[in-house]
Amino acid sequence: MVTVRLENIVKRYDGDVLAVDNVSLDTEDGSFLTLVGPSGSGKSTILRMLAGVVTASEGRIMFGDKDVTDIPPQDRDVAMVFQNYALYPNMTVRENMEFGLKMQGVDADERRETVKEAAHLLQIQELLDRDVQQLSGGQQQRVALGRSVVRDPEVFLLDEPLANLDAKLRTEMRTTLVELQREIGVTTVYVTHNQIEAMTMSDKVAVLDKGRIQQLAAPQELYRNPANQFVADFIGTPSMNFLDVEARHADDAVRLTNEVFDISVPTDTATGVAIRDVTTDRGKSTLGIRPQDLVVSERGASEGYLAGQIEVVLIETAGDKLILHLEEGDIRVISVVNEQMSVEYGDKVNVTIDPERLHLFDPETGDALLS
């Protein structure tokens, strides 16, 4: 087990494409770090640099106290699992899992024992003598994980390993992977474009965009205190609502307004003071509200902080929740409410917002204004 550290890593492909732009990060020993971001944000490039199959243009990579920047892949103690399982097609599960150990010169008894343990962890004991071509996608992915685990690597690297599995299996494999990682306690770096995987599996998540880390934090912290509008938008389902607002200051309150919303936050609260301070020299701000925090009350009833009245234009059912699309003029927002709420198309509803749960961003830079 080691810590993994990237120091000011830059990667330029073929001179021109800046794939990774000065990334620094630190993992804890035995922790699960996820790199998440849209396609092309540099996730795989970082993972490949950790594996040693892509060379960094600038910067240093450390495993514990060891500088591995110039160490070739075969001399790094890493195991990598890809989305296409890359199993040896003409071998059995056992032969696939043993292969790396055999190459390392591990004797037959020890190989047998190690494979047995890994197969047990991954619940593929019954499959050991099957040909890998006879297995389902999910089973093949377990074998691919098993083959990596038996090598007892210092660092475990996973590149979208669940991408080819169907939705149900993917959810199951998430749990399997997290349990496996806890069990073997190996420092893991996981790449995905799926924010739900990142949020459910990781100790820490690095959100990437355009080759840069936008925020590195624990999942709850990303959700509660996104550092900027990119992270706020990327993390959470449905995505956060963003609205242009103007701040109006009075003696005892600060009001955030646009053509529909008028949110009044008393300045005898810490939040009110903070909002007043960050909006004092600013004409416009971008207000962020998670759909779960935009509270809809049925016609007529209003309580707490009335933010505005708005029409229901679309209702989506999602199990125990309803997703309401609300519109008035140019303003369009989404609210998630309890499935039992009685609401119909065309209703004008009141929306309220707890000021403690609102976010404000600089419209120019996208940086979060309230910490």
The long-range contacts involving 10-18, CB below 8 angstroms and separated by at least 24 positions, are: 10/56, 10/57, 10/58, 10/59, 11/42, 11/45, 11/46, 11/49, 11/54, 11/56, 11/57, 11/211, 12/57, 18/211
| 143, 133 Cβ separation under 8 angstroms | no
Nearby residues of 94 by Cβ (< 8 Å), 6 or more positions away: 115, 128, 129
- 23, 36, 42, 230: which one contacts ligand ADP (CB under 6 A)? 42
- Least Å distance, CB 14 to ligand ADP, is 6
Name the strand (E) or helix (H) holding 160: none
Nearer to ligand ADP, 38 or 329 (CB): 38
CA distance 353 to 313: 20
Binding of residue 192 to ligand ADP (CB under 6 A):
no
355 is an interface residue for ligand ADP by CB under 6 A: no
Out of 8, 13, 67, 269, name the contact with ligand ADP by CB under 6 A: 13
CA angle 198, 215, 371 (to 5 degrees): 115
Segment interacting with ligand ADP (CB under 6 A) among 35-43, 90-98, 218-226, 268-276: 35-43
Q: How far is the CB of 53 from ligand ADP (least distance, A)?
A: 10
- Based on the shown chain and the rule CB under 6 A, indicate whether residue 41 belongs to the binding site for ligand ADP: yes
Helices (H), 37-107: 43-51, 93-103
As a whole number of angstroms, the distance between CA 312 and CA 343 comes to 8
Among 31, 34, 45, 258, binds ligand ADP (CB under 6 A): 45
Q: Which is nearer to ligand ADP, 10 or 273 (CB)?
A: 10
65 binds ligand ADP (CB under 6 A): no
- Take residue 331 and report the two structure tokens written for it: 């303003």
- Choice between 23 and 155, CB closer to ligand ADP: 23
CB of 211 to ligand ADP, least distance (A): 7
- Three-state DSSP at 299 gives coil
Interacting span for ligand ADP (CB under 6 A) from 40-48, 166-174, 212-220, 361-369: 40-48
When asked if residue 39 is in the footprint of ligand ADP (CB under 6 A), the reply is yes
Contacts with ligand ADP by CB under 6 A lie at 13-14, 17, 19, 37, 39-45
